Structure 1
Amino acid sequence: MPRRAPASQNVISRLRAWFGLRQEDVAFYANVSPELVQAAESGRRSLSSNLLIGLLPL
């Protein structure tokens, strides 16, 4: 079973903390579902290309 990075080390959680965003805000900017953001942040899913592309402006 792969090890998951702690939430504090996750790219999404660090971006959210830096910019003061909610998961819903990140989902809106990246044009993905809030559930995908939550799953990626918790380590249950890998970061999708759509999510990464949506985060590039940040």
Structure 2
Amino acid sequence: MGYGMLALDMLGHGGTGKPADPAADIPRPISRDIADVVDAERPKKVIAIGYGW
């Protein structure tokens, strides 16, 4: 149907290591990383889904 999906591991979860610098584990830089990935993929439309503990 033409749908695509990006599934990103957050720092310290899934297959990624925990950052050594605590400043890297805050929402603003993490959000910027997500936006950079989406910008690089250039989708026509984005529906973002997330969760928190």
TM-score (norm 1): 0.27
Using CA pairs under 8 Å that are at least 6 residues apart, name the structure with larger relative contact order, 1 or 2. Answer: 1
TM-score (norm 2): 0.28
Q: Which has the higher helix share?
A: 1
